[in-house]
Amino acid sequence: RKEVEQDPGPFNVPEGATVAFNCTYSNSASQSFFWYRQDCRKEPKLLMSVYSSGNEDGRFTAQLNRASQYISLLIRDSKLSDSATYLCVVNMPSSASKIIFGSGTRLSIRP
Amino acid sequence: NAGVTQTPKFQVLKTGQSMTLQCAQDMNHEYMSWYRQDPGMGLRLIHYSVGAGITDQGEVPNGYNVSRSTTEDFPLRLLSAAPSQTSVYFCASSYAIYPNTGELFFGEGSRLTVL
């Protein structure tokens, strides 16, 4: 089983729609969770951290479910500029930190 | 605002050649790492370092060596390049280490083709 798994998509939704992605992780001791955004042929950039209580940043909401070991990202009122690949990121606790990326979910917003 | 600088941006190698991808950061980050990205595979961790003199293996370390002699630099060495190492390589750094994980700052990537 992969340590971090995501639905690769692609998700193709109309502008203004709400879209949600899930990501599952294998290590129950993981403590840090993030969503990164990657535009085509660019480096990944942090979108938001994911906190135990859930957190919101404008149109974006991230949630963590420790019991089921998954995190989610909800995008409301999607914009054309939201088209990108969204990467789920989890740390793997050990003697030092391994930061593991999921394979990413492609999102395409159509006019 | 240099951030994380990777060189070269593009490289073509022949099978069996060696090369070093350079990575430097000017943010005084303790944590540095190398990832490779292949289509449909996401980013896979090759090696990482939590400070000068300390390195460890990631998910796909075979065929790659690293060293960390200074806080700023974390070069990735391919000793004998293989076509399977054709990929985009990203270097990243962070100000926090375990148990806290901070934001990763990435370089712009290095596109390597092995013929």
Q: Is the pLDDT of residue B65 over 90?
A: yes
At residue B102, the pLDDT reads 77
- What does the pLDDT look like over A36-60, one tens digit per residue? 999 998 999 999 999 888 899 999 9
Instruction: For residues A56 and A50, give the distance between their C-alpha atoms in angstroms, rounded to a whole number.
Output: 9
Residue of chain A minimizing CA distance to B40:
A103
For chain B, the average pLDDT equals: 93
Please check whether residue B75 touches A, CB under 8 A: no
pLDDT at residue A102 in the model: 93
pLDDT value at residue A31: 84
What is the per-residue pLDDT for A54?
87
Partner residue facing A96 (CB), from B35, B44, B97 = B97
- The pLDDT score that the predictor gives to residue A51 is 84
Per-run averaged pLDDT (10 residues), chain A, 111 residues: 86 96 91 93 93 91 94 97 95 72 94 95
How far away is chain A from the Cα of B101, in angstroms, using its nearest Cα? 6
A43 to chain B, closest Cα gap in Å: 5
Phi, psi (degrees; rounded to nearest 5) at A108: -125, 125
Paired tokens of B115: 């013929």
Q: Classify A53 as helix, strand or coil.
A: coil
Count CB-CB contacts under 10 A for residue A81.
9
Distance CA(A73)–CA(B100), nearest Å, equals 21
